[in-house]
Amino acid sequence: MTLFPRASTMLAFACAAALLACAPARAVTIDTATGPAEIDTRPDTVAVYDIAAIDTIHALGVPIAGVPDKLYLPQLGDVAGGAVVVGTLFEPDLEALNALAPDLVIVGGRSSRQAGETARVAPTIDMTIDGTHLLAEARARIEAYGALFGREDAAAPLLATLDADIAAARDAADGRGTALVVMTNGPKISVYGPGSRFGWIHNELAIPAAVDDLDAGIHGDAVSFEFIAEADPDWLIVIDRAAAIGSGEQNATQTLDNALVAGTTAWTKGQVIHLPAADLYIGAGGASATARVLEAIAEGFATAQ
Amino acid sequence: MTTPRPIRGDLVAAAVLLVVLALVSVLVGVGRLSGADGVELVLVSRLPRTAAALLTGAGLAIAGLIMQTLARNRFVDPMISGSGESAGLGILAMTILAPGASIALKTLAASGAAFVGTALFLVLARRLPPTEPYLVPLFAIVYGGVVGALTTAVAWEADLLQYLSIWTNGEFSAVMQGRYELLWVISALVAVAWWVADRLTILALGRDTAVGLGLNYTVMQQAGLAIVATIAGVSVATVGLIPFVGLVVPALAVRRYGEDVRAVLPIIAAGGAGLVLSCDIVARLLRFPYEVPVGTVLGVVGTAAFIAVLLARPRHA
């Protein structure tokens, strides 16, 4: 254990020395999940272990040198082509990372626990996005990456799009009643409240929750179908976890199509919104992924009877 | 061995207790029974869930009894000594190779895999020295762990790790009309076990004695294996992996009532059914209105019971 403080102290000294050696004017302070961090701007070689970060940085037009083995979102297909695989979302391949010799490593969400490992190879920042205020953080990340990579010009239209999408989704849902966020996992279901990873749907889009005292569990709460019948939401917002991870398993519609759910207002009025699962579940907070989710929400509220 | 306790009175008590538990189970849930849809709620949700818990519990306890007979050891449980894990592996293979397959096909794959996995366990367990009875459960846990690890590795590669947890953590939250009916197969299997009960008693005496008594040892062994594998497959595919029932219930019942399979089979079935149903009622109430997996509740209850079984043994040995 004594090695670690020593190593980190040395790292801190090294960073400080590096900062002093370089022109301090090129450093920028950005907000990360672990607090503000001062980083040299325009890192040339970047390895990113977070799908949302990859999505946003890609949307800014910045090339990414190192990525995890799977990017899940088909829209990110061309990122993989130009990048080296430096491990998985859950486990960095430190040798590959070392060979890449990045100027900066970005972790977040599922990979945030690996920050300590990757920091031994290169400066690492944790850009985890929390689900309770996802939209505000998505915005902050676009601004931070824009400043970091000197792409403020590309960040501005992304921010404008995000704001417009948020406004459209809020308008579409305004006054349409309560909603319950449900995730299907094969045959089973769990529900998510305002304090959960999908809490932003209630908190930031001002969509009232059908059950307001839902526990704040990040991973949702397992419930029976009786729970949905009893909650009787006006809208069901559905996330199909099996679809999110790309398995062709039993789909959400099949799971929810039963006698108990059929009695709810949401089901009888056809007010069931299926969200793009991978964008919400894996790319949550990424610029283009979030745009697609917001568009699905706006469209869902607009097209139902 | 202790003198077997008279069973009839206890059986009546168990039946009464089961009826009471079933009534409680029908009354406990998130939906309100008082409304106009109360009857529908009972038919669509409460009765299926109660039946599912009863069938699964009875099935797992009987599977445990047969498994313990086949392994000639009272400390094995099909769900934690390879059968359940193998069933999970079968379902996982099906999910990867034929994702759209029906639940019946998945059950078939689960049962097939459980058959192979259980047979391999028995072949390997037979090589252990018979003088060391505790080696069998130890090996069983290691074997179950190895199969489980293999399943996890495959799921990891296929990115189905969390999806796998649906099968490795048994729960009844998804049970309702139209989603559990395959479990009724278990009632048929319990009937088959009842039919061959005397032959199972002889099987437990070991190969030489059994053959000497005119039993077709191999056929009987395979029949027992098939019952265990099918119960494991059906229950894992429908409600997931529920541990300890197959260990604790038969081990305690046999100690109390003796080794005659025909005599103990009803009380074991009732005991398993009652244990799983009461744990499911607890699972529904612990974090009401949310659900706790019944497998988790049984993990806690079962561990305590397992220790009790281990500690209690020397007194009667």
Closest-CA distance, A21 to chain B, in angstroms, reads: 45
Which is it for strands A35-40 and A272-274: parallel, antiparallel or unpaired?
A: unpaired
Residue B174 at interface with chain A, using a CB cutoff of 8 Å: yes
For residue A204, the 8-state DSSP code is: T
A99: nearest Cα among A79, A80, A122, A78: A122
Looking at residue A124, its pLDDT comes to 93
**Between residues 108 and 167 of chain B, which touch chain A (CB distance below 8 Å)?**
158-160, 162-163, 166
Distances (CA, A) of A119 to A12, A30, A40, A122, B226: 11, 17, 15, 5, 54
Looking at residue A246, its pLDDT comes to 57
Distances (CA, A) of B65 to B224, B249, B271: 10, 8, 12
pLDDT for residue B99 is more than 80 = no
Say yes or no for a CB contact (<8 Å) between B45 and A227: no
Residue A241 at interface with chain B, using a CB cutoff of 8 Å: yes
Reported as a single tens digit per residue, the pLDDT across A145-196 is 999 999 999 999 999 999 999 999 999 999 999 999 999 887 889 999 888 8
Token reading at B146: 């190895």
The predicted model gives B260-281 an average pLDDT of 95
Q: How many CB atoms lie within 10 A of CB B310?
A: 13
ipTM of predicted assembly, 2 dp: 0.86
pLDDT for residue B115 is more than 70 = yes
Beta partners for A191? A182, A221
Better-predicted residue by pLDDT, B167 or B95: B95
Say yes or no for a CB contact (<8 Å) between B163 and A246: no
Looking at residue B75, its pLDDT comes to 85
pLDDT for residue B281 is more than 90 = yes
Q: How many CB pairs under 8 A join A and B?
A: 94
Find chain A residues with C-beta within 8 A of B100's C-beta.
248
Nearest chain A residue to B161, by CA: A245
Find chain A residues with C-beta within 8 A of B95's C-beta.
247, 249
Say yes or no for a CB contact (<8 Å) between B166 and A187: yes
- Cα–Cα distance between B79 and B66 in angstroms, integer? 13
Which is it for strands A27-32 and A35-40: parallel, antiparallel or unpaired?
A: antiparallel
This prediction has a pTM of: 0.86
Looking at residue A12, its pLDDT comes to 56
**Between residues 227 and 256 of chain B, which touch chain A (CB distance below 8 Å)?**
none
Say yes or no for a CB contact (<8 Å) between A246 and B287: no
Cα end-to-end distance, chain A, whole Å: 62
Looking at residue A2, its pLDDT comes to 45
Token reading at B306: 């397992």
Looking at residue A3, its pLDDT comes to 45
Residue A61 at interface with chain B, using a CB cutoff of 8 Å: no
Find chain B residues with C-beta within 8 A of A223's C-beta.
30, 173, 289-291
Token reading at A199: 């809490």
3-state secondary structure of A292: helix
Say yes or no for a CB contact (<8 Å) between A223 and B159: no
For residue B3, the 8-state DSSP code is: P
Listed as ranges, residues in chain A with pLDDT below 50 are 1-5, 22-25
Residue A264 at interface with chain B, using a CB cutoff of 8 Å: no
Residue B34 at interface with chain A, using a CB cutoff of 8 Å: no
* Facing A225 at nearest CB: one of B37, B160, B176: B176
- Please, where are the H alpha helices in B72-134? 83-97, 103-125
For residue A269, the 8-state DSSP code is: T
Contact B109, B94 (CB under 8 A): yes
Which amino acid is located at B280 in the chain?
A: D
Find chain A residues with C-beta within 8 A of B290's C-beta.
215, 221-223, 227
Query: Which of B45, B91, B154, B157 has the most A C-beta neighbours within 10 Å, making it the best mutation to test the interface with A?
Result: B45
Residue A188 at interface with chain B, using a CB cutoff of 8 Å: yes
Query: Which of A219, A223, A226 has the most B C-beta neighbours within 10 Å, making it the best mutation to test the interface with B?
Result: A226
Residues 6+ apart with CB under 8 A from A125: A30, A32, A34, A37, A39, A104, A105, A106, A107
- Cα–Cα distance between B141 and B80 in angstroms, integer? 6
Closest-CA distance, B287 to chain A, in angstroms, reads: 10
Token reading at B313: 């043994």
Cα end-to-end distance, chain B, whole Å: 7
DSSP character string of A129-141: --GGGHHHHHHHH
* Facing A258 at nearest CB: one of B31, B173, B178: B178
Find chain B residues with C-beta within 8 A of A242's C-beta.
163
For residue A281, the 8-state DSSP code is: H
Better-predicted residue by pLDDT, B64 or A253: B64
| Dihedral of the alpha carbons of B259, B265, B269, B275, in degrees to the nearest 10 | -20
Q: At what angle do helices B103-125 and B135-157 cross, to 10 degrees?
A: 140
Query: Which of A224, A225, A250, A255 has the most B C-beta neighbours within 10 Å, making it the best mutation to test the interface with B?
Result: A224
- Cα–Cα distance between B40 and A262 in angstroms, integer? 12
Say yes or no for a CB contact (<8 Å) between B166 and A242: no
- Cα–Cα distance between A101 and A85 in angstroms, integer? 13
Give the burial string for B152-173 (b: 16+ CB within 10 Å, else e): bebbeebebeebbebbbbbbbb
Residue A242 at interface with chain B, using a CB cutoff of 8 Å: yes
Residue A142 at interface with chain B, using a CB cutoff of 8 Å: no
Residue B179 at interface with chain A, using a CB cutoff of 8 Å: yes
- Cα–Cα distance between B159 and A85 in angstroms, integer? 17
- Please, where are the H alpha helices in A22-108? 51-59, 77-81, 94-100
Q: How many CB atoms lie within 10 A of CB B284?
A: 24
Query: Which of B162, B291, B292, B297 has the most A C-beta neighbours within 10 Å, making it the best mutation to test the interface with A?
Result: B291
Contact A82, A62 (CB under 8 A): no
- Phi first, then psi, for residue B36 (nearest 5°) are -65, -30
Residue A31 at interface with chain B, using a CB cutoff of 8 Å: no
- Phi first, then psi, for residue B78 (nearest 5°) are -50, -35
Closest-CA distance, B135 to chain A, in angstroms, reads: 37
User: Within 13 Å and on the Cβ side, how many CA atoms surround A304?
Assistant: 23
**Between residues 256 and 295 of chain B, which touch chain A (CB distance below 8 Å)?**
284, 287, 289-293
Closest-CA distance, B7 to chain A, in angstroms, reads: 38
Q: How many CB atoms lie within 10 A of CB A291?
A: 20
B88: nearest Cα among B29, B161, B30: B161
Residue B169 at interface with chain A, using a CB cutoff of 8 Å: no
